[in-house]
With several copies, the nearest count.
Chain A
Amino acid sequence: MGAPSGDDLLRLYELMVESRAFDDACMDLLAAGEEVPHFHSGAGQEALSIGSVAMLRPTDEIVYTHRGYAHLLAKGVPLATIAADMFYRRGGTNGARGGVMHVSRPDLGVPGREGVFGTRFGLAAGLALAHSLRGDDGVAVCFYGEAAGARGPLYEALNMAVLWNLPVVFVAENNGWSVNSRTEWLFPGGRMSTVWSGFGIPVTEVDGNDLTAVSSATARAVSRARAGGGPSVIEGLTYRLHPHIWWDDASYVPARELQAWWEKDPIPRQRRVLEEEGMAADRLDDVERRARNRVAETIEAVRGAPFVEWDLEVGVEGVR
């Protein structure tokens, strides 16, 4: 699949709006004093998540992040599933054992997520190795932020991926922060991926708020991997528009910087792109309205649904 156009672009825009609507709804619930367990806003990063994941096939896998709603939606996981996991309602994937931090849909290429950052890299290499051993043309895509990106297993996995020419793409989400630490405090020059150019593989820096740039870069990396060209790294420059998590007041974020990034918000930006391409404003309005309504209805339905019932013997037990 090359970079999307026409109706495909509209579909991606709809996903972005849907993801943001979910995000906004969660922010609203929090503001109203409700519990939104383990919600980490992904607002501002939708172009990067969706632009990349949408380039994949169902048989490709993703390893997503703790702000993974957009990734999951783009991979085909229904919002109702994500919300059910989040609010511990029936209809989720893990029966309240992993919540929204451990959504999995192996059938859609979502094997799950690790919480102590690092394992994801070898895991993605293993998923890619499986494709390679089976001789199919699947690709694994591994997302990671500044935190995981400073962990050694990334080097180990990349070395294996280059050595074995694995079909895996690593996507660094450079969003300015790791909790309250600036990217510049964690990586020389504030860049997470330049070091990997030393492997002689493609390392691409993209404007992570530019849906088209992201999808082109990902499409290139993924087709390369699919065709046996081996691994590559993409670093998307974006920004975390909301605090790390609900208890964070984000007082450390400079107001002007934040403001500047709100102005680069990928959603209005993508709307402008679509309008410039000739998409009618009312068609876009309509898409937005439908997406927002769908999200509102889904959340209401999920929150009105019964909680997961659990049998402690079965529900939370280990092997023994």
Chain B
Amino acid sequence: MSTTVERRVRTVRESLASTLGEAMAADESMVLLGETVRAGGAQGVARGLYERFGPSRVIETPVSENGIFGAALGLALSGFRPVVEIYSADFLLAVANEIVNDIAKWRIQHGQPGAQLPVLIRGCMGATAGLGPEHSQSMEPFFFHSPGLQICVPSTLENAPALLDAALESRQPTLFLEHRKVYELQGSGTPEPRPAAEPGTAEVVRVGTDLTMVAWGWMRTEAEAACATLAEHGVTVELVDPRWIRPFDYATVVNSVAKTGRLLVLEEAFITGGIGAEILARVTEAFPGRALVATRVAMPDVIHPYHAEMERQILPTAADAVHAALRLVRNQDES
């Protein structure tokens, strides 16, 4: 965990902690619940909040995921704004029913389509090095198919606080999925104006003409490295970070592909049934009869092995993205 004395250098972890603290300070109806949150939570994002807000705002819970998520729904229906921490996002599968069937649908099912239901679910996800198949998964694909649910994946020190703000502000059921490696990203701590990060707005990270690359979460960092290498090969990439997986800003991707004619999605999740599939499908549907080259670089459909070295060989990287991008650009006409 990275509590540095030098306040100028901050990590995403710290920025999320302070954003959450600000939001809780600004609205008394916001409460945080979860396992070990009293001591800062599984990843330190709640650090200091118990001391600051006390036990009625920072609620240490038993390891009762179903009870906790049910309670969050009850709190939200009672006018509170619960923020629920899941110890590791892989465990969201234990509350998939609460999330998909209850929290996401509640308003619609009860005839309040425009109503707010401010349940923010947040926690860490993603592969680091050898945490194994139950503490490494990219969870957005498992919840992508759920009407009524927002999904947000921050990727940088710049966008993490803005996205957390926007997710909280939306007052809609939202999964906020914090990649373990993104926590460690650093930057200048000088307060910057927070960029707009409304639900459903992508960020065009880099403008380019040869290829559209889409990447989010930790993959954005890999993608930026890939873009730098590709630039050396004379390939200019338009890099889009959707930030919001649901609602997804397909328009920005489609507009970019309209220009580049080539699409590469770089995704950490298992390839089959990942978000990349939907992105490719939308783009294909958007250009009927137009010759496209599009592909995905993602994790194969295998479990995360515990051995970090084994895992490293199957996680998608900048090098894989470069390789795939060059193939798309060079061999476009082979077929």
Contacts and interface: CB of A to CB of B under 8 A. Distances in A.
Interface of A: 37-38, 88, 92-99, 101-102, 104, 106, 111-112, 114-131, 133, 140, 146-153, 156-157, 159-160, 163, 178-181, 185-187, 247, 252, 307-308, 310, 312, 314-320
Contacts of A115: 101, 132-135
Interface residues of B, number: 73
Interface in B51-108: 56, 59-80, 82, 90-91, 93-94, 97-98, 101-102, 104-106, 108
Interface in B9-26: none
Contacts of B62: 146, 150, 156, 159-160, 163, 185-187
Given A151-B65, A318-B302, A98 B109 contact: yes
23 contacts: A88-B307, A97-B109, A97-B305, A101-B306, A102-B306, A104-B112, A111-B78, A122-B69, A122-B71, A125-B70, A129-B75, A151-B65, A152-B64, A152-B66, A157-B67, A163-B62, A179-B35, A181-B36, A187-B62, A317-B108, A318-B148, A319-B173, A320-B147
B202 interface: no
A128 B63 CA distance: 19
Given A131-B78, A181-B36, 20 more contacts: A94-B110, A102-B132, A112-B106, A115-B101, A119-B97, A126-B70, A127-B75, A128-B74, A129-B75, A146-B62, A150-B62, A151-B63, A153-B67, A156-B64, A159-B64, A179-B35, A315-B305, A317-B113, A317-B147, A319-B172
B190 interface: no
Nearest to B63: A147
Contacts of B97: 116, 118-119
A318 B111 contact: no
Contacts of A126: 70-78, 82
A93 to B, nearest CB: 5
B164 to A, nearest CB: 18
Contacts of B70: 118-126, 153, 156-157
Nearest to B60: A185
B63 A116 contact: no
Nearest to B93: A116
A117 B90 CA distance: 12
A110 to B, nearest CB: 10
Interface string B310-331: 1001100000000000000000
Nearest to A95: B111
Contacts of A37: 130, 306-308
A146 B63 contact: yes
